[in-house]
């Protein structure tokens, strides 16, 4: 009997889903992508993962991975031809700590910067400054090594670049004026990459088969 491909519930513009798609793409593990709308989540997604966020990966044996970082790790543990996984335990701990900073304080500042009114803010300045402090740490890291991961692009780069991209696009003129030349180059390289183009291809919305 043919093995069923894992099912990936995804939303094209979600940065968490992008990082999962990037890792799955580099791993070469085939999945069945199911593009959904966040405002109209299919019952099958909520049944697999009642918390209702994407990405969600449902494996052939029924195991459900409902955190983007777990999906990245799973994909890269199946196959990691470009050596995206951190090289040792210490590097993995560093990667996970950096991703936690991205998903915690940076994402919090990013949301306030993008949608100040939602947070009752009159100005984006404080949020932008908070995000900038964190991005300056990336700039310093990128001045010492070509990628956040080290000598080559890796899991940490793929996990953070979609979020930095959202920040950059919120006010592209302002972003271009800041003193982060390496960060800007790193982001441009990401946006110009074949991997990014591949995972951003438009997919039709998934429709549940009629009962
Ligand atoms: N911690 C989760 C966060 C995923 C997440 O928050 N995704 C957003 C979309 S970018 C979502 O699904 N939000 C639910 C909604 O908007 O209803 C992960 O890493 O996968």
Residues in Cβ contact with 108 at an 8 Å cutoff, skipping those fewer than 6 apart: 130
Mapped onto helix, strand or coil, the DSSP state of residue 164 is helix
Q: Are 56 and 67 in contact (CB under 8 A)?
A: no
Residues in Cβ contact with 135 at an 8 Å cutoff, skipping those fewer than 6 apart: 106, 164, 167, 180, 183
Q: Whose CA is nearest to atom 17 of ligand 1?
A: 38
pLDDT in tens, 75-127: 999 999 999 999 999 999 999 999 999 999 999 999 999 999 999 999 999 99
CA–centroid distance, residue 151 to ligand 1 (Å): 30
Q: Answer whether 166 contacts ligand 1 (Cβ < 6 A).
A: no
Q: Answer whether 181 contacts ligand 1 (Cβ < 6 A).
A: no
pLDDT in tens, 48-64: 999 999 999 999 999 99
Q: Whose CA is nearest to atom 10 of ligand 1?
A: 14
CA–centroid distance, residue 132 to ligand 1 (Å): 23
Q: Whose CA is nearest to atom 8 of ligand 1?
A: 53
CA–centroid distance, residue 44 to ligand 1 (Å): 16
CATH fold for the domain made of 89-193: Glutathione S-transferase Yfyf (Class Pi); Chain A, domain 2 (1.20.1050)
Q: Is the pLDDT of residue 12 over 70?
A: yes
Mapped onto helix, strand or coil, the DSSP state of residue 113 is helix
Residue 196 has a pLDDT of: 98
pLDDT in tens, 133-179: 999 999 999 999 999 999 999 999 999 999 999 999 999 999 999 99
pLDDT in tens, 24-35: 999 999 999 999
The domain ranges of the chain are: 7-82, 89-193
b or e along 55-94 (b: 16 or more beta carbons within 10 Å of the residue's beta carbon)? bbbbeeeeeebbbbbebbbbbbeeebeebbbbeeeebeeb
2 pLDDT tier (thresholds 50, 70, 90): low
Report the alpha-carbon distance of residue 63 to residue 6 in Å, rounded: 10
Q: Whose CA is nearest to atom 2 of ligand 1?
A: 67
Q: What is the CATH class of 7-82?
A: alpha beta
Q: Answer whether 99 contacts ligand 1 (Cβ < 6 A).
A: no
Q: Answer whether 67 contacts ligand 1 (Cβ < 6 A).
A: yes
Q: Whose CA is nearest to atom 5 of ligand 1?
A: 53
| Whether pTM exceeds 0.95 | yes
CA–centroid distance, residue 86 to ligand 1 (Å): 24
């Amino acid at each position: 009997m043919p093995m069923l491909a894992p099912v990936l519930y995804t939303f094209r513009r979600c940065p968490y889903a992008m990082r999962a798609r990037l890792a799955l793409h580099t791993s070469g593990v085939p999945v069945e992508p199911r593009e959904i709308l966040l405002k109209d989540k299919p019952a099958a997604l909520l049944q697999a993962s009642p918390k209702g966020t994407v990405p969600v990966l449902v494996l052939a044996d029924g195991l459900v991975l409902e955190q983007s970082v777990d999906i990245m790790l799973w994909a890269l543990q199946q196959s990691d031809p470009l050596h995206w996984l951190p090289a040792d335990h210490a590097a993995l701990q560093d990667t996970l700590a950096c991703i936690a900073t991205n998903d915690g304080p940076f994402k919090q500042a990013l949301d306030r910067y993008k949608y100040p009114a939602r947070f009752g803010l009159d100005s984006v300045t404080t949020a932008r400054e908070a995000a900038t402090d964190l991005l300056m740490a990336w700039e310093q890291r990128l001045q010492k090594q070509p990628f956040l991961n080290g000598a080559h692009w890796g899991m940490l780069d793929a996990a953070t670049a979609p979020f930095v991209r959202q920040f950059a696009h919120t006010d592209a003129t302002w972003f271009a004026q800041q003193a982060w030349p390496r960060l800007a180059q790193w982001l441009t390289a990401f946006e110009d990459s074949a991997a990014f183009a591949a995972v951003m291809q438009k997919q039709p919305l998934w429709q549940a088969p009629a009962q």
